[in-house]
């Protein structure tokens, strides 16, 4: 890497057929570039987010350059005058890479590299590179590599001999001369083979995940999925609700793998809580499969907690980005979506209080503010109101009382020849489950169908 850094930039930009320039390195420094189309508040927030993405990737930002245009330039994204300004700034600041806030077409990227004589990376490449750096599970790493290869294919490029060197002529000798394949074609074939290999591996890992999901579905525990924009505080909330210590960092995409914790949301009411990968504006479509575990957790949950960073000026656009992703990538018109509870987080950072039009329970996961209220609301959504029952349970079925007795919701009053006399606070579903193992109401007790 150090040798690459010392090479003149003119040499670094020659011959990069396998997309090494699609990666950002920790030794590089960047200039960020974006276009302001008119909605300046949202676009400036998007540029601040790009700077946070660069920081997450380990790339310091030297400067941010913007241009006001109604639409991108078809050949170079920004205008010729702005290219001259950018070239001068890159030379003066000794920038190694120019990062654009939108996805560039292959021709735009090539033209910009030629004009700027610097590595050019777009927002999509940067997000993919962050995923490549931080993905921890085997499946996530495979899926990110697959997304990168799909992105790279139309962007393969070569210069000089690479485009004309044929396999036969390069080796020479009698019987070896012929049209052969260009180096670019060889590279494409190599990538196609790798894509085929990764797709086969991913089918296998998807099957393994399905087995794990099936085992989890055998449990009667209700499931909650934490969803939301990246860095909205989902992992902090998981730690608070489950008294665990999952990794938390004030950076975008600090969580790239779904974590599941078992906890009692209120005494006697155990649940499973899944912490999922955060969404983001303009999420690269090829990266969506890397969210497989996240999307699955959202689809199968009994309740979605949509965690929103209420301290951000762009909280409304963050909500729209999450909802758009859910509509287009997760549910896609699916009926029977899980109910959703909006959680306005980070109220401790809101100096003037939360916006008046904010809809949802207001908390601070970091400080633990209003978490008891949140637990009560979750419990009311997941568990029907309990009622008091007095019943007789056969001796051989007393084992079925264990989960309720351990939560102080069931007490054995006495034993008789016919079984155990029990008083318990149960939901209608729990009562029906006990009836299936022989529970019968004691004379004079309220009927399970009676109005509470």
Q: How far apart are CA 216 and CA 211, in angstroms?
A: 9
Longest dimension (CA), the chain: 104
pLDDT at 256: 58
Cβ neighbours, 10 Å, residue 435? 14
Report mean pLDDT in 10-residue bins for the chain, 452 residues.
43 41 70 83 80 88 91 92 94 92 88 89 87 76 82 65 43 42 73 88 77 65 88 89 70 66 82 84 71 73 91 86 83 75 89 63 90 90 83 92 82 91 87 91 59 39
The predicted structure's pLDDT at residue 163: 42
pTM of the model: 0.72
Q: What pLDDT shows up at residue 23? A: 61
CA-based nearest residue to 21, from 118, 128, 150, 101: 118
Q: How far apart, in Å, are the Cα atoms of 244 and each of 154, 212, 221, 248, 308?
A: 44, 22, 18, 11, 21
pLDDT of residue 387: 85
- Which tens digit of pLDDT belongs to each residue from 363-380? 999 898 899 999 989 988
Helix, strand, coil shares of the chain, percent, nearest 5, are 45, 20, 35
Distance CA 106, CA 156 (A): 9
Alpha carbon of 254 to those of 114, 130, 142, 278, 326: distances in Å?
35, 10, 19, 9, 20
Nearest to 283 by CA among 230, 236, 343: 230
């Amino acid at each position: 890497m150090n040798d690459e850094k010392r090479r003149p930039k003119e040499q670094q930009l020659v011959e990069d057929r396998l997309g090494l320039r699609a990666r950002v390195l920790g030794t590089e420094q960047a200039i960020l570039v974006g276009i302001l189309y008119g909605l300046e508040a949202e676009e400036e927030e998007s540029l601040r987010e790009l700077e946070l993405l660069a920081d997450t990737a380990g790339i310091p930002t030297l400067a941010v350059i913007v241009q006001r245009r109604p639409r991108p330039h078809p050949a170079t994204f920004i205008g010729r005058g702005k290219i001259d300004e950018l070239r001068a700034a890159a030379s003066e600041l000794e920038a190694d890479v120019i990062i654009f806030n939108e996805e560039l077409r292959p021709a735009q990227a090539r033209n910009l590299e030629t004009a700027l004589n610097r590595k050019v990376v777009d927002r999509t490449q940067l997000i993919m590179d962050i995923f490549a750096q931080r993905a921890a599970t085997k499946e996530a790493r495979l899926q990110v590599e697959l997304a990168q290869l799909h992105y790279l294919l139309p962007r393969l490029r070569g210069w000089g001999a690479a485009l004309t060197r044929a396999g036969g002529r390069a080796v020479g000798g009698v019987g070896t001369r012929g049209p052969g394949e260009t180096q670019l074609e060889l590279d494409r074939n190599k990538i196609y083979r790798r894509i085929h290999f990764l797709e086969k591996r991913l089918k296998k890992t998807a099957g393994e995940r399905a087995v794990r999901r099936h085992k989890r579905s055998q449990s009667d525990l209700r499931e909650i999925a934490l969803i939301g924009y990246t860095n909205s505080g989902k992992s902090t909330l998981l730690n608070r609700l489950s008294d665990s210590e999952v990794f938390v960092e004030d950076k975008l995409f600090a969580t790239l793998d779904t974590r599941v914790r078992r906890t009692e949301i209120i005494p006697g009411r155990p649940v499973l809580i899944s912490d999922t990968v955060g969404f983001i504006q303009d999420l690269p479509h090829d990266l969506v499969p890397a969210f497989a575990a996240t999307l699955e957790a959202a689809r199968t949950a009994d309740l979605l907690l949509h965690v929103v960073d209420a301290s951000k000026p762009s909280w409304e656009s963050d909500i729209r980005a999450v909802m758009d992703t859910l509509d287009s990538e997760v549910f896609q018109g699916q009926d029977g979506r899980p109910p959703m509870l909006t959680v306005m987080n980070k109220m401790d950072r809101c100096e003037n209080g939360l916006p008046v039009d904010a809809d949802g329970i207001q908390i601070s996961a970091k400080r633990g503010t209003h978490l008891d209220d949140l637990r009560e609301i979750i419990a009311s959504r997941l568990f029907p109101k309990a009622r008091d029952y007095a019943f007789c349970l056969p001796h051989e079925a007393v084992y079925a009382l264990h989960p309720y007795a351990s939560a102080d919701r069931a007490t054995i009053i006495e034993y008789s020849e016919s079984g155990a006399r029990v008083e318990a606070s149960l939901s209608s579903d729990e009562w029906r489950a006990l009836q299936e193992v022989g529970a019968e109401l004691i004379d004079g007790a309220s009927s399970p169908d009676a109005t509470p």
